[in-house]
Each structure stands twice: as C-alpha cells, then as structure tokens.
Chains A and B, each alone.
Chain A
Amino acid sequence: MTALLELRNVSRRFGGLVAVNDVTLKIAEGEIVGLLGPNGAGKTTLVNVVTGVHPATGGQVLFEGRDITRVPPFRIARSGLARTFQIVQPFPKMTVVENVAAAALFAGRAEGMAEAFEAARRHLDFTGLGDAADQVASTLTLAKRKRLEFAKGLAMNPKLLMLDEVNAGLNSAEVEDAMRLIRKIADSGVTILIIEHIMKVVLSVSRRLLVLHHGELIADGLPEEVTNDRRVIEAYLGKRYAEKAGR
C-alpha cells in the first residue's frame, strides 16, 4: 500500500508544552480515516502541522512521498492537501460564490477568474449551497457556513481533504446531511481524514480509526478493535470505568 500521507515521529512543541508527541501514521489513497480524541488531545494541532501552519518541531511529514515538513502552507495547499476549519473561516464580506472561487483560483486547477467562478458554482451545487451562491458569506447560518467550508475544500481540487470537526455545533439532522455529503465526496475519489471527538459520527463513515490522547497516538485500527481498546476507554471514560468494565 502506497501512503498518500505519512507522518514519521512527528512532534510539535509550543514552548514547554508538547501538543503532538512522536506520532507515526500512514493514510493510503482512497481511505476514509477517522481521527478521534478527547478535547485538547492535539487533533487540530496535528492538522496544523500537516498543513504547515505550525510546522513540526520534530519528525517528518511526507505527502505523496515528498517531504513537506517545512513547506509553507500556501504551497502545501496547491499540492492537493486541503482542510476545513473547526472554527469556520470564510471571507466574511465576499459572496459565497466568491469564497469558493478563491479556493478554485488559487489552489485548484482553474485558469483565470471566469473558470474559477464556473467551478465554484459547480461545487456549490454539489454541496447543496447553489441557492445561497450570491449571499454574503457572513449572513449564512452555521450549518451553511460549514457547507461553505466543504465547498471551499473541494474547490481546491484536493487529493486529501482533512475535515476538522465539521459537525461541531450542528443538530442531528444537519449531521446526517453532512455525513451523506462526506460519503459523496469520498465516492468521487478524494481521500478523507475526519477529525472528530464524537465517536458515533465517525463510526458511521470510517473504516479505520486513529485515536490521539495527550498528543500521542494511542490506537490505530479497525473500529471494533479501537472501541474495545483499554487505553481508548480510559481516555474517554476514565481509568475507574475501564477497571470496572474489566477490560
């Protein structure tokens, strides 16, 4: 199996705090991988390390076999690695279609403005935001802003899309919609890494789970294995519960 993304002993320190500690993992092309972990486990930091926002202080990040550990974020974005933000990051005063066109123009394959806007409309239709195309981004509801993040990510024409808590703050119907969309994106051939702290959400789409706790990767495997792993139960429910459950 050729790895699309590979992390080798990656660490990230902020002063004395080790947010990500010695993480080694591989993601193959075509996978839908879930990255789990309680709040503060270092999930978002890991995404920031991969995208170059906070470069790793130790170890190596490889994308398609190329070392991207010290590559600036905009170059990583252009090479086919897209992300969405946990806290949505639209260009607030631009319209929805302009937001997506920016992604298509600067990181996607669009040549020129006209083509970028054309691609943007296509991605908006795909994500179900077609009707809101000419609305100003700051007027969207949270659920629609999350969709806008999807559309932007897709417009970048990514090989790997990292979804950072796209479901946080959504109600269960909206979560269902988002999950359907994620499966649709995966079917179009994009490799996906879903970052979540709600297990149920990830279990419905991922065939492989990674669990991060205190910055360390404590589990990597099939959902059944991971959910029965003693260390994972400890991380989520505490030591005493794990002992009582006798696992």
Chain B
Amino acid sequence: MKPWLWLVVFVAACALVPVFGNNYALRLATIMCLYAGLALSWNFIGGMAGYPSFAAAAFFGLGAYVSAVLQSKGLPIGVTWAAAGLGATVFAALIGMAILHLKGHYFAIASLAVVEVLREVVNTAEDLTGGGMGMNIPLPGMPVDVQARLFFFAMLTMTVLLLAVTIVVSRSKLGFGLRCISQNEDAADILGIDTTFYKVAAFCLSAFGVAVIGAIYASWVQYIEPPDVFDILYSVKPLVMVLLGGLGTIFGPVIGAVIYLALEELVWRNFLTVHAAVLGGLIVALVLFLPNGIGAVIRDRTKRAAVRS
C-alpha cells in the first residue's frame, strides 16, 4: 500500500504549485514533471530490464513530430498526443524485435543509432515536417497563463500515470520477469520466461511514456526542429536521473529527476559560462560515490537507525 500513499503525496505537492507558485515555479514544476516522466519511462527498459537504452531521444522526437504534424492537419490536441504514444509504441515494438537481442554496449550503440536515423528521416521529409526549418505548432486559443496551467497538468497527469504503471508492473509477473532478465538472461530463458516478449514490452512502455511527453513538450513550446527534439541529451538525462535516484526502483526516477533539476538550476545560475562542465563533474562524482543512487543511501540510513534504536 505504501507506494500508492507516496503517489498521492507527490500529486498533492505538485498540484499546489499553480495555486501558490509564480510563473517561474510553474515552469520549473512542468520541467520537473517532464524529467520525472522521462526517467520513469527509461526505468522500464534501463532499470527493470537492465538494457542501457539510448533511444529515448528518438521516441521523444518521434512523439513531438507525430503530434505536431497531426495538429497542423487540424486534429484536436489530445488526439495527437494519444497518436504520438501509440505510434511510438508500434515503432518501438518493431525496432525492439530487431535490436533487443543485442547485449550491453552493442545494444546501447544500436539504440543510439535509432536517434540519428530518425533525425535524418525527419530532416529529409521536408514536405511533412519542414525539415531543418522546423515546425510551428498552431497556438491553442486561450490566455497564456491558462496555457501554462494546461501543459503543467498534462505533464503531471502523464508522470502520475507512468508512476502508477511502474507500481503495478513492479509487483506483477512482468516486473518479476524483467528483474530475472536483468540479473541473468540465460537463466531466465531456461526458466520459461519469454525473454524477447518481456524485453519488447518494457521497450514499448518506455517508448510510449517518452513519446507522449515529447508530444506535450512540442505543444508547450510551440516550435520544434530536429536538433532540438532529437537532442541526445533526452537520452542521457533520464539515464543520469535514474542512476541518481536508484536503478529499477519505483520512486528512484522521480527523486533523481528532482535532484537533477535542482542541480541544473543551481549550477546554471551560479556558473553561467561553465555550467555544462560543472554539472558534468557533479554527475560523475555522484554516480561514482553513490552507485546505487541516493534512494539506497536513505534506505540504509533508516535501516541503521532502526537497528540502533
């Protein structure tokens, strides 16, 4: 029951932001939900199944472009988001069947290649996507502050949905099977686990989450271009967040996203010219000294405290 309680606390805390916070806080909270959603999505394939995927940027860009193209054809915004999610899921199933038999570094490189291929495809399909010129997304006819709230709640809903799916999956046969695969895939196979199906399922869940978030992002920023939405940082950031928070755990990705965002903001403000280098250094230090994530440190502390008392 405990994870569901934390989920409610998380939602309540986030929902208060638009009530009390200013526009800066609202924007920050939207980005936080975006990050948390990406991290939770990546956790399915990277954390639970143990496959180091760099394909997140591919799904992010795919979702953004599917939604943008459909919106430019006049479809309602919600329909385009759903279409982005479903499209990416089908795409991930096909790609997954092709590359998920690769292991370790080979899989990482193959998944990275998917990002590059999609970026080039979008770049060349000028008639549909505007190519390197990028795409303007039609403005929803409403006041700016209402828009800001709308996109914040859209991101929040998606994050909460992904968190709920994470809780359900981690307690189900699927989650159990994925844990087996991440620890010893050959043994999992010989114990009767359909490893291909399980891995593809994790990859699809991951793609669905990332793509819908990409679609909401596109509608939010209202202008997208290939180098922006197929940015490899969308693959790397969720990975770092999950490592920070705790690989394969339920709330680790959310905690990692919050920490990452806090670091990003602080470093950005205080080291304007060298922020990328400082942030990189911090991440390396954190991953080196806290290999199991900050969640593990908190768990160990509370355990030790419990033993002492």
Contact = CB atoms under 8 A, between A and B. Distances in A.
Given A102-B176, A105-B173, A113-B176, A152 B183 contact: no
A51 interface: yes
State the 6 A-B residue pairs at the shortest beta-carbon distance, nearest first.
A107-B192, A77-B192, A89-B187, A106-B192, A91-B183, A78-B192
Given A74-B192, A156-B191, A89 B176 contact: no
Contacts of A51: 190
Nearest to A51: B190
Interface string A91-103: 1111000000111
Contacts of B187: 85, 89-91
B179 A106 contact: no
A83 interface: yes
B189 A73 contact: yes
Given A105-B176, A113-B176, A89 B184 contact: yes
Given A102-B176, A105-B173, A113-B173, A74 B184 contact: no
Contacts of B195: 74
A92 B191 contact: no
A108 B189 CA distance: 14
Interface in B178-205: 179-180, 183-184, 186-195
A143 interface: no
28 contacts: A51-B190, A53-B189, A72-B189, A73-B190, A74-B190, A74-B192, A74-B193, A74-B195, A77-B189, A77-B192, A83-B190, A90-B187, A91-B183, A91-B188, A92-B183, A94-B183, A102-B180, A103-B191, A103-B192, A105-B176, A106-B191, A106-B193, A108-B192, A112-B173, A113-B171, A113-B173, A152-B191, A156-B191
A74 B183 contact: no
A86 to B, nearest CB: 13
B252 interface: no
Given A102-B176, A105-B176, A113-B176, A91 B184 contact: yes
User: Looking at chain B's contact residues, is the secondary structure mostly helix, strand, loop, or mixed?
Assistant: helix
A interface, size bucket: 20 to 34
Interface string A56-80: 0000000000000000111101100
Interface of B: 171-173, 176-177, 179-180, 183-184, 186-195
Contacts of B176: 101-102, 105, 113
Contacts of A89: 184, 186-187, 190
Contact of A102 (B171, B186, B191, B194): B191
A77 B187 CA distance: 11
